[in-house]
Structure 1
């Protein structure tokens, strides 16, 4: 199995040679373009990370959990999963940290652990993704993208809750 990656590289080089592509020059050009895009989107990423940090540090996340507690209790959502539901649209790394904490405290096979794992895999980091993708190409008006993404995220969370209720717990 150690030969697969070198084999893929060799196939790419051979294909480029057969097609008459200057592979090294194409690689350098692609790397240069990638670096320019990285520099272009870096301010958007920094702003998003700052906003997430401020939300967590200011107690905004705790306040949101307090406000939503009656609704989540009525829906039967474990309390420890709510920070993940709120954080996942904002920050993938923050959500991953919350997931790790849920799995450590509640266990991977618990209701909270399974639900958190399904939510983690069936939702997207909406605001980060919109920031990076739209920011990289200079689009300021995202129109209906955010609404559609939030609806899809809610559907993913609802489906995770339904799957856990019907099939697992």
Structure 2
């Protein structure tokens, strides 16, 4: 019986939150429907504003993948990855993750299918997936939405944070795996 109530509560939580917000707005004298419509209009304006930035980002990722430039870059990066102990099998994930979350998810899935989730390579890849960001996508969306064009300091800080996360992923996986 408790499990059944728990399942219904999980299914009903979002509608309950919506009803609670609407009820609270009515008691406060807010025109809830009009506020919703205004918010939707603003959301559409923001979508139209950032669309060119998103299109450019998606196009750049597709060009990198299809032109095999990424493969050449991975070959160049292998000696550097060996210095920090990063397995070269994870380099495609490291290079795709800042550009595309869905692309990184595909690479991550391939790594787990090939090497397994409970291997050193799978563990490092899992930590990297959870601790790094899709830097260029995020900058494109958020800065494009507010028309910020000068991103150099944010970009370098984000790249440095990702490099730190990768080094820590390798270190943490070594500690956990050994």
Q: TM-score range by the shorter chain?
A: over 0.9
Count the aligned residue pairs.
Answer: 169
1:10 matched to 2:19: yes
Q: Which runs of 4+ in 1 moved over 3 A?
A: none
How do 1:1-169 residues align onto structure 2 when only pairs under 5 Å count? 1=9, 2-169=11-178
TM-score by structure 2 length? 0.91
TM-score by structure 1 length? 0.95
- SS of residue in 1 equivalent to 2:102: helix
For structure 1, the residue ranges without an aligned partner over 5 or more in a row are: none
Change beyond 3 A, Cα 1:68–1:143:
closer
For structure 2, the residue ranges without an aligned partner over 5 or more in a row are: 1-8
Q: Distance in 2 between matches of 1:140 and 1:125?
A: 18
CA-based RMSD of the aligned residues comes to 1.1
Q: Distance in 2 between matches of 1:147 and 1:79?
A: 24
